[in-house]
Structure 1
Amino acid sequence: MFVVVNLKAYPCDPVAVAEAAADVADETGVRIAVAPQAADISRVAETGVETWAQHVDAVDHGSHTGSTLAEAAAEAGAEGTLLNHSEKRLRLADIDGGLRAAERVGLESIVCANNPRQIAAAAALEPDAVAVEPPALIGTGTPVSQADPEVVTDSVEAADAVGDVDVLCGAGISTGDDLEAAAELGAEGVLLASGVAKADAPKAALRDLVEPIAE
């Protein structure tokens, strides 16, 4: 199982969370990545944790003020990027362009989507993985695997029908039980944020999260 911790723009210490994630990954053998703000990618990567960008733009070098260049993210230490999170929605052409930008510099990619229909469309663009996240459940503490498990199973079927694309489960993930449930429904990983980024003790939260699948 792959655990991606999206720090969004929460007022947490990204380095402290990254250090906690690196320690837990080393202790348990679970693959854990942290996605900080673009300005913090370098500092987070220096902790040794697998580091992802929250977004890259469909641009190359040139006149693109305010854009996140894939080359800059990779040079700062990012190994992958999220695209089309529900808080950073993109047009289909921009998702495709972002994926090509990520490929250009060797970044892995996860495209987020709201439901199985969107998962099918996202998978057709050939990212490394897709993540299903019903927006209504994000940040609620109620996981989609509990609120509407068919969203996960239908998303896995939709992705499988298109090609070899892993499906992650997001929205409301916060406990080891949530992670186990996602795995039982066919997900290859989870995408979460507040359950770790807002935790008083991020390391303990991560330990509790991955304990059911630790080596």
Structure 2
Amino acid sequence: MFVINCKNYEEIAGDKIIKFVKTAEKISKKFKIKLAICPPQHLIGIVSNSTIPILAQHVDVSKVGSTTGFIIPELLKKSKVKGSLINHSEHRISSKEIEKLILKLKELKMISILCVKDVQEVKKYVKINPDYIAIEPPELIGSGKAVSKEQPELITKAANAIKNANNSTKLLCGAGIVSGEDVSKAIELGSKGILVASGIIKAKDWNKIMTDFAKSMV
């Protein structure tokens, strides 16, 4: 699983998101990999008909109806959104909300990608069986220093914790990934995919960097 979080970067503002998603579609098809995009929330509708999964960057524990400003899972699904990130380090939520959202997305047959900062959180939340757990040490996010190089033992320990849980959760690795070498190292250490942001969004040639990452995955 190759997940690209667009955050709120200016590089994909407005119509640029369309070009970005089309590039990702070509890479996904060419290398036969599962590639998903998390656009800024207000741009989701522009690309929700994509041939690859479009995911939200965040969802709220709230209900359909009079809930102004909240992001509702049921309505995302009606807009063809396939799932969401949960508890990203830039948008942390409570344990109670995490549990409710994982169960809600599971009920809706939507993809849940739970972001955690350390192995302790992996062990805590793997019991709820999200589809994916993405381990991202906050201090390495956007640093250009890949967790697979800086803290390789973190990926190994997280992979073992998930394996010991004996359920369907898969591990993703994030934080500081900027090259194909970083990707292949993460896979080698036990990750089943990657969660990346600035390493791709801010690259001068999206096709080139996505190709580099995809080749390293296959």
* Alpha-carbon offset, residue 76 of structure 1: 1.6
Distance 2:95 2:133 in 1: 14
1:112 to 107, 112, 115: 115
TM-score (norm 1): 0.94
Q: Give 1:61's aligned residue.
A: 64
Amino acid at match of 1:210: A
Q: Give 1:8's aligned residue.
A: 7
Secondary structure of the equivalent of 1:124?
helix
Distance 2:104 2:184 in 1: 33
TM-score (norm 2): 0.93
1:157 to 156, 160, 175: 160
Provide structure 1 residue ranges, at least 5 long, that are not aligned to the other structure.
none
Spell out, residue by residue over 1:142-190, the C-alpha distance to the aligned partner (whole angstroms, 9 max, x if none): 1100001011011111222223221100001121111110111000000
2:33 to 30, 33, 36: 30
Decide whether the 8 Å contact of 1:8 with 1:193 is kept in 2. yes
Decide whether the 8 Å contact of 2:23 with 2:206 is kept in 1. yes
Secondary structure of the equivalent of 2:133?
strand
Distance 1:100 1:38 in 2: 21
The structure-2 alpha-carbon separation of the partners of 1:77 and 1:155, relative to structure 1 and needing over 3 Å to count, comes to same
Spell out, residue by residue over 1:7-31, the C-alpha distance to the aligned partner (whole angstroms, 9 max, x if none): 0111122221111100111111111
Q: Bigger shift: 80-89 or 162-171?
A: 162-171
How much is the aligned-residue C-alpha RMSD, in angstroms? 1.3
Decide whether the 8 Å contact of 1:57 with 1:101 is kept in 2. no
Query: What are the within-5 Å matches in structure 2 for residues 47-86 of structure 1?
Result: 47-86=50-89
Q: Does 1:179 pair with 2:183?
A: yes
Which runs of structure 1 show a deviation greater than 4 angstroms over 4 or more consecutive aligned residues? none
1:168 to 158, 167, 172: 172
Secondary structure of the equivalent of 2:128?
coil
* Alpha-carbon offset, residue 46 of structure 1: 2.4
Q: Bigger shift: 98-107 or 164-173?
A: 98-107
Spell out, residue by residue over 1:75-107, the C-alpha distance to the aligned partner (whole angstroms, 9 max, x if none): 222112110000010100000111122123221
Q: Bigger shift: 127-136 or 200-209?
A: 200-209
Distance 2:108 2:41 in 1: 16
Q: How many residues align?
A: 213
